[in-house]
Structure 1
Amino acid sequence: MISLSSRRRFPASRCKVAALVAIGAAVVASGCGGKITVTKTDTSVRRGAEIFYERCSGCHSISAANAYGSKPAGQLEPGERTNGPDFNVRRVRRDDVLFAIRNGGFSGQIMPANIVVGRDAELVADFLATCSGRRNRSICEAEK
């Protein structure tokens, strides 16, 4: 049996370095599989894509924002309860997006209300109105 006093201890600085390396690896791995392809010249739509990636990509998919939801690509089964609409397929209007953001989706779905607010909500709505349903490929898929 090993006593606590005989265990090798690591200096606090080594533990901090190891933790930072692990966090860095997780951040890099989370971005694997693509990048936001919205043109940088349309700054408001680009910023909306970035916010969508940060706040909405856990449940919703749209390739222009490198967002693939919680359901693996190509899976035919319904998947997770938190799978939101695939905006590569579904076209949406700005007002409908703002309604869903404010009210937590439509018809009592599990989307949290006000996941983004204010100007950020407007930017996400503009992005989806521009890029959902594979619209505006010159803007939304410009950086492939």
Structure 2
Amino acid sequence: MFASIASILLVFAAAACGGGKDNSGNNASSGKASASEIFQQNCAACHGKNLEGKNGPNLQKIGSKLTKDQILNQIKNGGGGMPANIISGKDAEAVAEWLANKK
């Protein structure tokens, strides 16, 4: 019973993190948003508006633990409860670079 409830909660948490996409599956940002804005629109529901962590881990100093490429890989492939491709393309690149500078 507990495993079923935990699984359902994980699905809802993962769905909440993906709120920045429009119905076509494309990112809601126009490509002109800053990395911070993209993060706020797509990632803050799980990682906190100040990167403090909520359902997802704290990212305030993630750049001291992971490189840009490692962060980009996590964004693209998900894992550890994070769904894949919450953001993609140039938006994902920008957020990965922005997060890599958080040390």
Please, what TM-score do these two structures have when normalized by structure 2?
Answer: 0.57
1:48–1:127 Cα contact (<8 Å) kept: yes
The answer to whether the aligner puts 1:119 opposite 2:90 as a matched pair is: yes
2:52–2:59 Cα contact (<8 Å) kept: no
The answer to whether the aligner puts 1:110 opposite 2:81 as a matched pair is: yes
Q: What is residue 56 of structure 2 aligned with on the other side?
A: 84
Q: What is residue 79 of structure 1 aligned with on the other side?
A: none
Identity %: 41
RMSD: 2.2
Which runs of no fewer than 5 residues in structure 1 stay unpaired? 1-43, 71-82, 134-144
The answer to whether the aligner puts 1:98 opposite 2:72 as a matched pair is: yes
2:53–2:59 Cα contact (<8 Å) kept: no
Q: 1:96-120 CA distances to partner (integer Å, 9 max, x unpaired)?
A: 1111011113xxx121100001011
Q: What is residue 13 of structure 1 aligned with on the other side?
A: none
Shift of 1:61: 3.8
Shift of 1:68: 4.4
Tell me the secondary structure at the aligned position of residue 44 of structure 2: coil
Q: 1:81-137 CA distances to partner (integer Å, 9 max, x unpaired)?
A: xx22211133331101111011113xxx1211000010110011111012x23xxxx
Q: What is residue 34 of structure 1 aligned with on the other side?
A: none
Paired residue total: 70
Which runs of no fewer than 5 residues in structure 2 stay unpaired? 1-31
2:62–2:99 Cα contact (<8 Å) kept: no
- Runs of 4 or more consecutive aligned structure 1 residues displaced over 2 Å after TM superposition: 67-70, 89-92
Q: 1:1-39 CA distances to partner (integer Å, 9 max, x unpaired)?
A: xxxxxxxxxxxxxxxxxxxxxxxxxxxxxxxxxxxxxxx
Distance in 1 between the 2:70 and 2:58 partners?
15
